[in-house]
Amino acid sequence: MISKSISKELTHARELCYQAKFGEALEIIEKLENSESLSQEDLFSELLIRGNIYIYNQAYEKAVNIFERAYQISQNLGLMYESVKALIGKAFIGFIGDLDNASTYIIDAERRLNSLADDSSKGKVRRDLLFIKTWIHLLKVDLNKVAKLGKKCFRLVKEGKIENNLDLARLYYLLGWINNIQGNLSKALDFATKSLALNKELNHAIAIASDYALIARIYTDEGNYDKALPYCKQSLSIKEIATRGRLMVFQTLGIIYISKSQLNRALKYLKQAVALAEESNVTDQLRTSLTTLGWLYRVMGKNNLVIKHTKRNLMLSEKSSNLIHIVQSLNLLIVTYIDENSREKANQYFYRLSELYDQTRNNMAVFVSAYYLMSKAYIMKTSTRMRDRVEAQALYKELITHTNLPFIDVLIFSMGDLCDLLLEELSIHNDPAILDEINPLITKSLEMAEEARNYVWLTETKLLQAKLALIQMNIEEAKKFMTQAQRIADLHGLNFLAWGISGENDKLLDQIDIWDKLKKEEAPMSERIKLASVNDVLERIQGKRAVEPSELVDEEPILLLIMDNSGATYFNHPFIANWDHSDLFSSFLSAFNTFSDEIFSKSIDRIRIGENTILINPVESFLACYVIKGQSYPGLRKLTRFTEAIRENSEIWQALNKSFKTSEMLELDKPPALKAVIDEIF
């Protein structure tokens, strides 16, 4: 029996724990441990509180050791109900990477709890069991089970059955993860924000760091990388951040910088993630980090390092029976060995994947099937036999038709590989009818990328659409699609990609005469495909390379204009003294009259006249124009800043609107703010 005085102390420690005053709670526990009158029942209760403190602070290895001691005591005393509590605590071994044992403990706890008479006192235990059970299935990426259990978790919130804010914050955090993995990003952000608010009230630093990390991941999955980065920084700035939280931030930063094509920065964070996971023995996060690192090395073209890290990942994944990472590792090894012309080794790994495909009959069958078919299709796509390549097309079409957005990598690579096959066929046979297969594929790709909020995929597909327009000799369409692609990239912080696309657009303007000649000569498809440099964008979609923009060189500024949609000029500032731009201006007005609709719909952002480029950015009913020589991208960024400045600066905006009414030209220092803005930007 627990004595009254000890019971009172334990109750006080438990209350302090729920207030996130863990240090004070542990002080009470440590004093009780030294008490000679502490019975086994007292010790069990003390261990439960201590174990839960470790769980709240994400010290899972310590927690599991404590709950193992508690479980032995419950067994010795023949306490069935108490053994359930201990088994729930032991199940947190799943956070150390041992998901099989975690599942065993959960099943055992459920069996024992169901054998006991049900009453209201067991409500919290059932909720604790639901909590860890949901987490284990989430860590297993068992989406069907997670969906069902997530509904039960949400019901707890709606019914107000969580007695304290500490557990409520934990539940909000879990619901944030569930909704994130399901793609319900607005709901995920709502739950994560609620968890953050409660943890801030409790001053629970470790949980606050995890909330920041989750919010960063949600924004990353939303494609909002510039919003994600500050949350990553805030999470890492909290000195109490737990190892798993730090790992999650490193992985998120890796994903962000891969998406931004800043591969060396991505590599830095993923290497840190691998080293920390190794040092801390967090095997599930080590596998996740190795998976992302392997794909990064493939993008970087370092196939020897892809093979090295992926073989290690495969070994770790097989040791822990983690089917997801086994299948992903086998697929990556297969495609990499094929790229290295080592088909025999690729076939060895494909044989292992085939065995898994034949054996898997549970809810993971769809996942295994998708990667199996994608691997098989890639083997056939790279075969020298035409019949194999035809079958590869059929497999990719099947994958695209039946694969869901949760398997987005499968969709992206399948789309890229199928387009590659069809364009190769187009190049060989010169049959324009093949384009009737490719164009709907591009349309579907754009729709899927937008639905998935994968803005890298969306941008690259829009660029591919531009190149297909070029192949079909629709030059003006190609320009529009390139401009749209660059705007998507700029809008979502994909600056390297935007810069690369801008370079493609400049290159097209330089090659207009060549394209006009090919059009007149009705050049074969093979010549058009080669000149359009389709392979570059296809290889990026297939994950084989990164964008490689040319060296950034500042433009040579010539002239800055503000016009309206009729072509009337309200501001004219040459950067070159005594420069006569009358011929240029009349040529531009002629082009402006031709393309005014496209200009104001932002479908065209530049016009080439002779050796000059006129960059264009609409701002309401006005048009800012910047005439330059050289690369367009640095000039476009300056012009964007300029249009934002004149719109946001009330002095300039009012003067511009007055000029519109009176038809008077603005001068460089009238209003004075205009000169200040131009001096700062240009």
Q: Is the confidence at residue 93, as pLDDT, over 70? A: yes
Helix (H) or strand (E) holding 566, with range, is none
Please write the tens of the pLDDT for every residue from 630-674: 999 999 999 999 999 999 999 999 999 999 899 888 988 889 999
pLDDT of residue 157: 87
Looking at residues 106-126, what average pLDDT do you find? 87
User: Starting at the edge strand that comes first in sequence, how are the strands of the sheet with 612-619 ordered?
Assistant: 569-574, 556-564, 622-629, 612-619, 606-609
pLDDT of residue 591: 67
How far is Cα 359 from Cα 224, in angstroms, rounded to an integer? 40
Q: Is the confidence at residue 623, as pLDDT, over 80? A: yes
Q: 244-258, 549-563, 592-606 — which is least confidently predicted?
A: 592-606
Q: Name 614's bridge partners.
A: 607, 627
Q: 167-176, 398-407, 452-461, 605-614 — which is least confidently predicted?
A: 398-407
Looking at residues 563-585, what average pLDDT do you find? 79
Domain residues of the chain, as ranges? Answer: 4-105, 383-550, 556-681
How far is Cα 560 from Cα 60, in angstroms, rounded to an integer? 62
How far is Cα 57 from Cα 204, in angstroms, rounded to an integer? 9
On the 0-12 / 13-18 / 19+ scale of CB atoms within 10 A, 380 is: buried
Read off the pLDDT band of 581 (50, 70, 90).
Answer: low
How far is Cα 539 from Cα 423, in angstroms, rounded to an integer? 13
β-strands 612-619, 606-609 pairing: antiparallel
Q: Is the confidence at residue 36, as pLDDT, over 80? A: no
Higher pLDDT, 173 or 121: 173
Read off the pLDDT band of 82 (50, 70, 90).
Answer: very high
C-alpha closest to that of 625 among 607, 644, 609: 607
Percentage of residues in the chain having pLDDT higher than 90: 75
Looking at residues 46-59, what average pLDDT do you find? 95
pLDDT of residue 287: 92
Please write the tens of the pLDDT for every residue from 273-286: 999 999 998 888 99
pTM for this prediction = 0.89
Q: Yes or no: say if 453 and 183 are a contact pair by the CB < 8 Å rule.
A: no
Neighbours of 193 (CB within 10 A): 15
Backbone Cα Rg of the chain = 31
Q: Name 626's bridge partners.
A: 560, 615
Q: Is the confidence at residue 589, as pLDDT, over 80? A: no
pLDDT of residue 582: 65
Looking at residues 497-516, what average pLDDT do you find? 94
pLDDT of residue 641: 95
- What does the block give as tokens for 420? 């590659």
Please write the tens of the pLDDT for every residue from 426-477: 999 999 999 999 999 999 999 999 998 899 999 999 999 999 999 999 999 9
Looking at residues 107-129, what average pLDDT do you find? 87
Q: 585-599, 606-620, 657-671 — which is least confidently predicted?
A: 585-599
How far is Cα 363 from Cα 427, in angstroms, rounded to an integer? 42
Looking at residues 186-210, what average pLDDT do you find? 97
C-alpha closest to that of 386 among 349, 348, 428: 428
CATH of domain 4-105: 1.25.40.10
Read off the pLDDT band of 1 (50, 70, 90).
Answer: very low
- What does the block give as tokens for 636? 């476009």
Alpha-helical segments (H) within 382-454: 386-402, 408-429, 435-451
H helices, E strands: number in the chain: 32, 5
- What does the block give as tokens for 399? 């994958």
pLDDT of residue 579: 67
* Averaged pLDDT of the chain: 91
Neighbours of 220 (CB within 10 A): 22
How far is Cα 670 from Cα 667, in angstroms, rounded to an integer? 5
pLDDT of residue 363: 74
Q: 98-102, 306-310, 443-447, 510-514 — which is least confidently predicted?
A: 98-102
Fold of 556-681: Beta-Lactamase (3.30.450)
Looking at residues 414-419, what average pLDDT do you find? 96
Alpha-helical segments (H) within 452-603: 455-471, 475-491, 495-510, 512-521, 525-531, 534-541, 582-600
Looking at residues 332-358, what average pLDDT do you find? 97
